[in-house]
Amino acid sequence: MDESNTRSDGDALSPHIHLNLNVRGLGPSATLAINERSAALQRQGREVYRLGLGQSPFPVPDHVVAALREHAHEKDYLPVKGLAPLREAVAGYFQRTEGLDYAPENILVGPGTKELMFIVQLVYYGDLVIPTPSWVSYAPQAHILGRQIRWLPTDPATGMGVTADALEALCRTDPERPRLLILNYPGNPTGIAYSPEQLQAIAEVARRYRVLVLSDEIYSGTRFDGEHISLARYYPEGTVISNGLSKWCGAGGWRLGAFAFPSQLRWLLDGMAAVASETFTSTSAPIQHAAIAGFSGGPAMDRYLADSRRILQALAGFFHDTLTAAGARCRPAQGGFYLFPSFEPLRERLEARGIGDSVTLCERLLEETGVAVLPGSNFGRPSSELSVRLAYVDFDGRPALEAAAGETVDEAFLRRHCARVVTAAERMAAWVSRDGD
């Protein structure tokens, strides 16, 4: 008799025996977990200000929704690399917004940039290099694949982003080692962007050590001044651009992303496409057809982006000013939905209340004020550091956009149309300012 068929109590399926070592200990993504926890608390009747998940508060533009409706009947498997007209539209987007010329055949479409980021790490063998702090899923993806993670130290005075000096110091220790640097900007979790001078300096180091750079520009369309600049302008031969519909087009749940490759890295695109053919096969057909409208731009999209940027910029400024007035240390955001304040200047006051690390800080903040944010430790910061990431997105973006078309976006506007975010900022400031209990 086959003994494996006679075991009881689930021995044959014990997770301790069969779970891949690289997956053991991993939980759900922190951003998704806080979103689900916030929803659960709301179902219990709790008032929760949901500043955890960085989901665009704005609706998908009406003309893009209309395109999806028009193509809802599409059911065929599409080419692995993506629908040809969509790849042309993505190439046109980069030319129009960045002045960068990509051949449509050097565009790869996938079911969200997150999936494509995982596949590029699977195909390209090298250390993952990311700054601390960084988005919550970069490091876990590398961990799942068994890749080495190299954290770049950052300086709060310069916005906690990648610097040429830090990259140089890392690469100099082993000049021939293959490395994949992820450069995300406007940044999650910090909201920072890079100047042309900073990008040029990073490009020089990356070229010297032949570092592959994945330039995660998913928030490019949310840069407040509308002047996003890609690293690919300065390091075209070694940069892969990642972009998609989730942030600037409000379509996170549609799950559509695209990578743009220089011709020198066509081998990498082809390798990723081979993996894609054996995993996700192709991206949703109706979504790909609709995405053409998003990437093609036009007056309606220009108006949508301009108004959404004005609202996000005003919210970033209000939250920044409110928290820094309460004693927090925080760099102003230049785009995106995020701030990354540190409450280290208030450590003595918070420790008197039994708060000495970022997890406790967030747990107590949620319990006592209803404001849900994420601890800095989820983003690669030391657990003892009193830092958090907040996403100023808990408002209904459709009426806010409609109002912005004819109103000045000032504090009075925010109190009328983004009241939950304003209240959350003021609750946080009042809470951290309290004396010990």
Q: In the predicted model, is pLDDT for residue 14 greater than 60?
A: no
Q: Which residues contact 100 (CB under 8 A, 6 or more apart)?
A: 94, 230, 232, 233, 236, 241, 260
Which residues, other chains included, contact 13 with Cβ-Cβ below 8 Å and sequence gap of 6+? none
| 30-58+300-433 matches 73-296 in fold | no
| Cα-based torsion angle of the residue sequence 29, 32, 37, 40 in order, rounded to the nearest 10 degrees | -140
* pLDDT exceeds cutoff 90 at 41: no
Neighbours of 362 (CB within 10 A): 24
Three-state DSSP class for 212?
strand
Query: What pLDDT, on a 0 to 100 scale, did the predictor assign at position 9?
Result: 47
Q: What residue ranges do the domains of the chain occupy?
A: 30-58+300-433, 73-296
The answer on pLDDT for 103 being more than 90 is yes
Q: Determine the Cα–Cα distance for residues 138 and 128; give it in Å rounded to an integer.
A: 8
State mean pLDDT over 385-410: 96
The partner residues of 372 in beta bridges, in order of sequence, read: 50
Alpha-carbon distance of 386 to 12, in angstroms, equals 44
Average pLDDT, the chain: 92
Task: Give, for 118, the enclosing helix (H) or strand (E).
Answer: helix 113-123
Which pair of tokens denotes residue 153? 């130290």
Length of the chain, please? 437
Q: How many CA atoms lie within 13 A of 239 on its CB side?
A: 25
Percentages of the chain per state (helix, strand, coil), in multiples of 5 = 50, 10, 40
Looking at residues 32-56, what average pLDDT do you find?
81
- Residue 6 pLDDT: 41
CATH architecture entry for 73-296? 3-Layer(aba) Sandwich (3.40)
Q: Would you tell me how many other CB atoms lie within 10 Å of the CB of residue 276?
A: 23
Other C-beta atoms closer than 10 Å to the C-beta of 401 total 21
Measured CA to CA, the distance from residue 233 to residue 186 in angstroms comes to: 16
For residue 31, pLDDT beyond 60:
no
* Residue 8 pLDDT exceeds 50: no
The verdict on whether omega for the bond into residue 299 sits within 30 degrees of 0, i.e. cis, is no
Instruction: Please check whether residue 176 is in contact with residue 324, taking contact to mean a CB–CB distance below 8 angstroms.
Output: no
Q: Are 216 and 244 in contact (CB under 8 A)?
A: no
Residue 91 scores a pLDDT above 70: yes
Using CA of residue 54, residue 241, residue 335, residue 296, what is the dihedral sign?
negative
Q: How far apart (Å, rounded) are the C-alpha atoms in residues 340 and 332?
A: 9
Exposed, middle or buried: residue 8 (CB in 10 Å: 0-12, 13-18, 19+)?
A: exposed
User: In angstroms, rounded to a whole number, what is the distance separating the alpha carbons of residues 350 and 293?
Assistant: 50
pLDDT digits (tens, 9 = 90+) for 247-265: 999 999 999 999 999 999 9
Window from 4-8, 83-87, 273-277, 281-285 with minimum mean pLDDT: 4-8
Q: How far is CA 329 from CA 7, 156, 335, 341, 388, in A?
A: 58, 9, 18, 6, 11
Answer yes or no: are the C-beta atoms of 342 and 328 closer than 8 Å. yes
**Which residue do the tokens 């990509």 mark?**
102
d(CA 391, CA 32): 13
pLDDT in tens, 272-321: 999 999 999 999 999 999 999 999 999 999 999 999 999 999 999 999 99
- Across-strand partners of 179? 127
The pLDDT of residue 3 is 41
Residue 336: which of 268, 392, 387 has the closest Cα? 392
Q: Is the pLDDT of residue 117 over 60?
A: yes
The SS3 call for residue 298 is coil
Kindly state the DSSP code that residue 233 receives in the 8-state scheme.
G
Distance CA 81, CA 276 (A): 8
pLDDT of residue 1: 41
215 near 232, Cβ under 8 Å? yes
Q: For the ranges 75-84, 343-352, 358-367, which has the lowest average pLDDT?
A: 358-367
| Long-range Cβ contact pairs of 94-99 (< 8 A, separation 24 or more) | 94/230, 94/241, 94/243, 94/260, 96/297, 97/220, 97/221, 97/228, 97/297, 98/228, 98/229, 98/230, 98/232, 98/233, 99/233
Tell which phi-psi region holds residue 129, choosing left (phi > 0), alpha (psi between -120 and 50) or beta: beta
What are the tens digits of pLDDT across the range 215-234?
A: 999 999 999 999 999 999 99
CATH no. for 30-58+300-433: 3.90.1150.10
